[in-house]
Chains A and B, each alone.
Chain A
Amino acid sequence: EAGVTQFPSHSVIEKGQTVTLRCDPISGHDNLYWYRRVMGKEIKFLLHFVKESKQDESGMPNNRFLAERTGGTYSTLKVQPAELEDSGVYFCASSQDLGGIFQTFGSGTRLTVV
């Protein structure tokens, strides 16, 4: 079984530019989560999709962040325009159970905004 795939693995962009992160969940997992870890801080929840619908987006920092999940398959997280404080590692996870007890994480995308 293929795991959760994220790309790119690393991205370095200038302040003000746009970046799109992609996550391919495990096939058949309706639940998809985005998280972010800022250096020196804990992993924080961003949002939760159930199929193509946003179940909970309470963790999204502001309206510069836009997440989509087309057709309930892969998901993208766009940051536009990027700011310095957006730097960090963005993780995606997927699960079969709605409660998210058993989440499988991807390896993350390390975003650096300069």
Chain B
Amino acid sequence: EDQVTQSPEALRLQEGESSSLNCSYTVSGLRGLFWYRQDPGKGPEFLFTLYSAGEEKEKERLKATLTKKESFLHITAPKPEDSATYLCAVQAGSGGSYIPTFGRGTSLIVHP
């Protein structure tokens, strides 16, 4: 059974204090790993898709990396508007079933 574990559950940072969020996964035949941002009362908003170990993607202050066992979402010099819940999900590709498995998320609060 595919599993996704995110850590920490919650993270408080001061504005400008860089940090990383972790997503550990076990899946048979990784097709893709996704990072989403979710604001209160909203649905998940797509950030990145990573397909293979060693791949990296960047968007503004966010950088996502992928290994064979985990992914990191690095946040450089965060601002208060980066406060949100960050979700990780994996999708297995074997057998034609593309059901995504989500983690419980990391709630990030950035204080000014």
Contact = CB atoms under 8 A, between A and B. Distances in A.
Interface of A: 4, 40-45, 48, 56, 58-59, 91, 93, 98-108
Given A105-B43, A105-B45, A106-B43, A41 B104 contact: yes
A106 B44 CA distance: 8
Interface string B31-50: 11010100001111110010
A108 B41 CA distance: 8
Contacts of A44: 102
Nearest to B45: A105
A107 B31 contact: no
Contacts of B99: 45, 48, 56, 58-59
Given A42-B102, A99-B31, A101-B49, A107 B4 contact: no
B103 A42 contact: yes
Contacts of B46: 102-104
Interface in B74-112: 87, 89, 91, 97-105
A101 B32 contact: yes
A interface, by DSSP: helix, strand, loop or mixed?
Answer: loop
Nearest to A9: B41
Contacts of B101: 42, 45
Contact of A43 (B42, B44, B45, B97): B44
A4 B102 contact: no
A34 to B, nearest CB: 12
Nearest to B88: A42
5 contacts: A43-B87, A43-B89, A91-B43, A102-B49, A107-B41
The 10 closest A-B pairs by CB, nearest first: A105-B43, A43-B102, A42-B102, A42-B104, A45-B99, A105-B44, A107-B43, A99-B98, A107-B42, A100-B98
